[in-house]
């Protein structure tokens, strides 16, 4: 935590502010706490600011300015009540608040500002390395080298256990490797309130895997459906068999056929299954967009 000592003159005060706030904010988020010894709320806010900023160092720094000892700075920033906190980034104030906040509110305030901050060169380089490793793991999984894929994902998550976006991509790799139980455990480690697209895809993929039957011979089942095209239960069985075989196109066709014939069959089971399949692919995936368009056409025709 940086602190502005009592200045012997106005020039020293301004120079300290330039060094500890303006210049420092070019590489970190700097919170400037305007306070005074006689201020009761300042005594509540100060320790919380110190705790929260220390936990987020070196990305966040705290500078405390006693308004009684730095009256020129206080006047320059038009401080009318204390505590007042200004946040500086890239040499300029970007936000602030007055009064004492709780620890949760302070953390949310800082996290919101950090989320909008560009990464440092070191952070950008690290993220590029992580991205390359994740892409290598996904490529290995797609090529059937499951041992390599799982090894890479495990190594990344050992170092970055809170990266839920990476954990979500680990899930389909585990499913592809034939480890549905491990995939479920990996998914359980992701907090329920995380709802980004990668996590949603992982949850849908695990749900599909849980419902998938053992591998079956598709030819006899297709022949039965052809002989009884109105038997939706049989067609639904065929759709799940196609999913187990990894043929999502055929599965989608079977489910769409059921919906077109009787959209509410079995309390909407076909539509629910299709939406889970779409979710596993991702709502922005071109395949999903096409299937959703066909579903809308059926539902609103």
- Answer yes or no: 42 catalytic: yes
- Answer yes or no: 260 catalytic: no
Tell the residue number behind the tokens 């899930």, with chain if given. Answer: 171
- SS3 for 195-221 is CCHHHHHHHHHHHHHHHCCCCCCHHHH
Q: How far apart are CA 69 and CA 249, in angstroms?
A: 73
Q: How far apart are CA 32 and CA 1, in angstroms?
A: 11
Can you state the angle between helices 232-244 and 248-261, rounded to 10 degrees? 160
Q: How far apart are CA 240 and CA 212, in angstroms?
A: 6
Could you say which of 16, 42, 167, 205 is catalytic?
42
Q: How far apart are CA 232 and CA 265, in angstroms?
A: 8
Evaluate whether 298 touches 260 at the Cβ level (below 8 Å).
yes
Could you say which of 29, 30, 32, 39 is catalytic?
39
Q: Which residues are catalytic?
A: 39, 42
């Amino acid at each position: 935590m940086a602190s502005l000592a009592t200045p012997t003159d106005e020039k020293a005060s301004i120079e300290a502010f330039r060094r500890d706030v303006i210049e420092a904010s070019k590489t970190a988020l700097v919170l400037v706490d305007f306070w005074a010894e006689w201020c009761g709320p300042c005594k509540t806010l100060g320790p919380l600011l110190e705790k929260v900023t220390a936990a987020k160092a070196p990305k966040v720094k705290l500078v405390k300015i006693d308004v009684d000892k730095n009256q020129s700075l206080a006047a320059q920033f038009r401080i009318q009540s204390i505590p007042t906190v200004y946040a500086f980034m890239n040499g300029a104030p970007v936000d602030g608040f007055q009064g004492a906040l709780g620890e949760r509110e302070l953390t949310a305030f800082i996290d919101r500002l950090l989320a909008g901050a560009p990464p440092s060169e070191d952070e950008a380089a690290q993220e590029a390395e992580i991205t390359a490793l994740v892409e290598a793991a996904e490529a290995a999984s797609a090529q059937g080298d499951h041992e390599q894929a799982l090894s890479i994902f495990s190594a990344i998550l050992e170092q970055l256990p809170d990266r839920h976006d990476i954990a979500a991509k680990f899930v389909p790799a585990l499913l592809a490797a034939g480890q549905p139980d491990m995939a479920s455990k990996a998914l359980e480690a992701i907090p329920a309130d995380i709802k980004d697209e990668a996590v949603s895809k992982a949850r849908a993929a695990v749900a599909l895997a849980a419902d998938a039957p053992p591998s079956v011979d598709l030819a006899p089942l297709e022949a039965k459906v052809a002989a009884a095209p109105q038997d939706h239960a049989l067609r639904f069985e065929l759709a799940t068999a196609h999913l187990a075989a990894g043929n999502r196109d055929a599965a989608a066709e079977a489910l769409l056929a059921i919906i077109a014939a009787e959209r509410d069959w079995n309390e909407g089971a076909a539509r629910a299954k299709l939406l889970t399949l779409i979710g596993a692919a991702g709502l922005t995936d071109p395949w999903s967009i096409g299937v959703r368009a066909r579903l809308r056409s059926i539902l609103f025709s």
